[in-house]
A and B are shown apart, each in its own frame.
Chain A
Amino acid sequence: MARAKARRSASRDGAGTPRWLWPSLAAPGTAYLLILFLVPLYVILAVTFGKLDPILQTPLPVWNPLQWKTGVMSFTVSNLVHSDGLYFAAFIRTIVYVAISTSLCLLIGYPFAYFVSRHAGRAKALFLVLFFAPFWISYMLRMLAWISLLQDDGYVNRILMSLGLISHPYPFLAGKSLTLILGLTYGYVPYMVLPLYAALDRIPQSQLEASRDLGASPTRTFFRVTLPQSRQAILAGVIIAGLPMFGDYFTQQLLANTNGTRMIGNFVVEALSSSLLMSRGASLILMMMLMMLAPVIYYLRSTSRAATVRPAR
């Protein structure tokens, strides 16, 4: 009995598993990621620190790190860091937009997640289905929907005018930060709700009842029982909803297409559509990757921690 157990100890499968089975199952996925995820990261480096074709001014990647040229990178860094740099304003603005939008996602998403997990009762399944809908509705269609509503002659302006709140149509789509922030919030709030719902759903009702029985008011129960257990989920939600916003450029182009609302993603995409500026685009993406490093590492550590812990049944 002990010997059989020992034979099964190395992995959870049965004894006699050929050594090649699991590695060969993992191989295609791993190879795919190596070639199409890791190698491109190196290409980004090789282009950032590479040269330019003398005639077409297109980037020539330099593969040998000893021959790397730092001109493009220092240009980008200095333009990101100095207050009169090309990218500084967009950089700060992106951080501000993402911070505000993520906070709004939290302010809206948390009550909704709380509602669905704890108070929806028999309608819970229906609300879940409705909540999941945006995940398979095209982002573009959702943005098109708002473009339609926010036109000068769209429904939002018509309703506001008929309520007497404004007298002329408000140019929502003429480069307003408000529109962009609301657009980002609208686009990414489902990603915030997902982990919040999961965490709130896991909290046993008995805990809350016990807290009430012990004399805590609803507010205290929330702050002392519910909120601490959702802290991990809040951080996860902030990462899952906030991180993609940093790379957003299309929401800006659709909802607020002026220079005053540009985000760092806009600079990246435009640089890539120009021969001369392509290496600058690569360097900007490199900077973005470096900035994302901390949240990504945090997320990885929480993943590995969580996956080894069985969820409470």
Chain B
Amino acid sequence: MLDPNQQNGFTRREFMKRAAAAGLAVSGAGAFLAACGGGAQTTVGGNSPAASGASGANQFGSGGIAGAPYPLARPDAPVTWTIPSDNQPIDSNMPPEKGATLKIYNWPYYLAPSLMKSFEQKYDCKVDLTTFPDLEPGVAKISSGQTDFDLMFGLQIYDVGKLIASKLVQPINQDYIPNFKANVWDSMQSPFYDVGSRFTIPYSVWNTGIMWRNDMFKTDIQGLPNPWDIFWNGAPKNKTHMLGNPRDPMAMAMYWRGQTDPNSSDPTVIDQAKNDILDVVMATNAKFDHNDYNDIPKGGAWLHQSWSGNVGSAFYFLPKGDTAPYVSYYWPGDSGVPASVDNDTVVVLNTAKSPVLAHLFIDWVLDAENALTNYTTYTGYQMPQKNVTPESLVGSGVVPDHLATTVVTEEQFTKGLRVCELAPDVDTLYQNAYQQVQAGV
């Protein structure tokens, strides 16, 4: 169990004071925001760059840390985005657009078709889904300004700032989304990356851990003192995969070494992480993807760095009633070792031709019953809904007992670390490191 008193020299009391000062609500179940190292914090064994303590406030928003033209949000440096005069939310009480086609941009298998169908019937419209294979291409397409989608789902928090600052995203009018206040965790009403939820609404929550085939290789990963160690000692050759983006594998390598700042701008830390990942690649010929929901059940992979929701996704592809006893999942954060938790967001784009419908769709997805259907019958990703507790999920058989480890609790959010938005030059360092990993150099 991570001792709060030893988190980067911050005591829990200091964190609470700062949180209160930033006007954040702290729920009785525990602070959602982890007192993790942001760019302004000292990291274990390293030194912080010049941005230490400096606020990133400017025309785009207040709070955050410096490094980019817009403020960079950190859990202990939350950002309140400005709503500029040329990017105002839509008016309230407008009627939904008639005969329209709502265009959604999303990950694959990340929104239940039944929800889209029922929305089509309710509002007499069409819902069109286009998918992106990974977040980076998705954000690149949106950034090109060529697309005309209404909604983007699954936008992770480390790309939120740039889209808001470049006015590709429009402010949310929460009057259309009463289910947000009613159903979503209190601790998520005003997240650090978007105080007041002015531009984003939270979608799914997950933690990033380890998925494996317990029948194919026998190490008790859960019992290891540092579960991440399995990737460096005992990972099966040709059957090991890591997540395919510049942040998650690097974060894992940093966590393995005990670093608690996955947003470090220290080039030596980044370089060390890169070399560590390269060691795994050399030893196991590892692949980088997030196809675990297919590869693990089919046996194409035996060990996978995974988002907890992808374990749930796997069930969609298996025959009904198959509880997949050969699949195991564990979040190393439960062993007191650094690990990530995360949530992603849904945003209304400024190219939206049906913004009212877009808002109403978000409300539709946040409906208690719809959210549960979304999670349990299709995406496998938990949504931060108040009425859904881990106990009820496991108890009702929605989540098989041996995979109770995939359920995300608000408590885990206090232990987990957040992968946040980076300054452009730092982002380039991570990109280069990831490219070097892929090139094997």
| A residues lining the B interface (CB < 8 Å) | 52-58, 84-90, 171, 174-175, 257-260, 262, 267, 273-278
Contacts and interface: CB of A to CB of B under 8 A. Distances in A.
Contacts of A90: 439
Contacts of B438: 259, 262
B166 A56 contact: yes
Contacts of A277: 431, 435
Contacts of A171: 238
Given A276-B431, A278-B140, A262 B439 contact: yes
Interface in B137-185: 137, 139-140, 143-144, 162, 165-166
Given A55-B69, A88-B441, A90-B439, A276 B427 contact: yes
Contacts of A55: 68-70, 162, 165-166
Given A259-B281, A274-B140, A275-B139, A175 B441 contact: no
Given A54-B69, A259-B438, 11 more contacts: A55-B69, A56-B162, A86-B432, A89-B441, A175-B287, A257-B287, A259-B287, A262-B439, A274-B137, A274-B431, A275-B136
B162 A273 contact: no
B236 to A, nearest CB: 12
B285 A258 contact: yes
22 contacts: A54-B424, A55-B68, A86-B435, A89-B440, A89-B441, A171-B238, A174-B238, A175-B285, A175-B287, A257-B287, A259-B281, A259-B437, A259-B439, A260-B285, A262-B438, A267-B439, A273-B137, A274-B431, A275-B139, A276-B424, A276-B427, A278-B140
B424 A87 contact: no
A89 B439 CA distance: 7
- Chain B interface helix/strand/loop/mixed: helix
Interface residues on B, range: 20 to 34
Contacts of B424: 52, 54, 57, 276
A86 B441 contact: yes
Contacts of A57: 143, 162, 424, 427
Contacts of B140: 58, 273-275, 278
Contact of B144 (A58, A87, A88): A58
Nearest to A276: B431
A174 B165 CA distance: 42
A86 B137 contact: no
A78 to B, nearest CB: 12
B428 interface: yes
Contacts of A54: 69, 424
A258 B301 CA distance: 13
A260 B136 contact: no
Contacts of A259: 281, 287-288, 437-440
Contacts of A274: 136-137, 140, 431
A297 to B, nearest CB: 31
Contacts of B137: 273-274
A275 B432 CA distance: 14
A50 to B, nearest CB: 15
B47 interface: no
Interface of B: 68-70, 136-137, 139-140, 143-144, 162, 165-166, 238, 281, 285, 287-288, 300, 424, 427-428, 431-432, 435-441
Nearest to A90: B439
Nearest to B427: A276
A222 B300 CA distance: 49
B436 A86 contact: yes
B58 to A, nearest CB: 12
Nearest to B438: A259
A114 B266 CA distance: 63
A260 B238 CA distance: 11
B70 to A, nearest CB: 7
A86 B438 CA distance: 9
In order of increasing CB-CB distance, the 8 nearest A-B pairs are A273-B137, A56-B143, A275-B140, A55-B166, A275-B143, A86-B439, A259-B438, A274-B136
Contacts of B238: 171, 174-175
A85 B441 contact: yes
Contacts of B439: 86-90, 259, 262, 267
Contacts of A278: 140
Contacts of A85: 441
Given A54-B69, A273-B136, A84 B441 contact: yes
A259 B436 CA distance: 10
A34 B285 CA distance: 45
Given A85-B441, A273-B140, A258 B428 contact: no
A312 B137 CA distance: 54
Nearest to B287: A258
Q: Which of A55, A57, A84, A89 has the most B CB atoms < 10 Å from its CB?
A: A55
B158 to A, nearest CB: 13
A54 B428 CA distance: 13
A57 B435 CA distance: 17
A37 to B, nearest CB: 22
B150 to A, nearest CB: 20
A58 B288 contact: no
Contacts of B300: 174
A277 to B, nearest CB: 7
A93 B396 CA distance: 53
A55 B437 CA distance: 26
Contacts of B144: 58, 275
B275 to A, nearest CB: 12
A129 B288 CA distance: 42
Nearest to B165: A55
B139 to A, nearest CB: 7
Nearest to B281: A259
Contacts of B288: 259
A99 B144 CA distance: 37
A278 B140 CA distance: 9
Contacts of A175: 238, 285, 287
A85 B441 CA distance: 7
A86 B441 CA distance: 7
Contacts of A275: 136, 139-140, 143-144
A73 to B, nearest CB: 16
A58 B143 CA distance: 7
A56 B139 CA distance: 9
A149 to B, nearest CB: 17
A52 B424 CA distance: 10
| Residue from B69, B285, B432, B441 with most neighbouring chain A CB atoms (10 Å) | B441
A259 B424 CA distance: 26
A278 B431 CA distance: 12
A171 B239 CA distance: 11
A54 B70 CA distance: 10
A147 to B, nearest CB: 13
A57 B432 CA distance: 15
A273 B432 CA distance: 15
Contacts of A262: 438-439
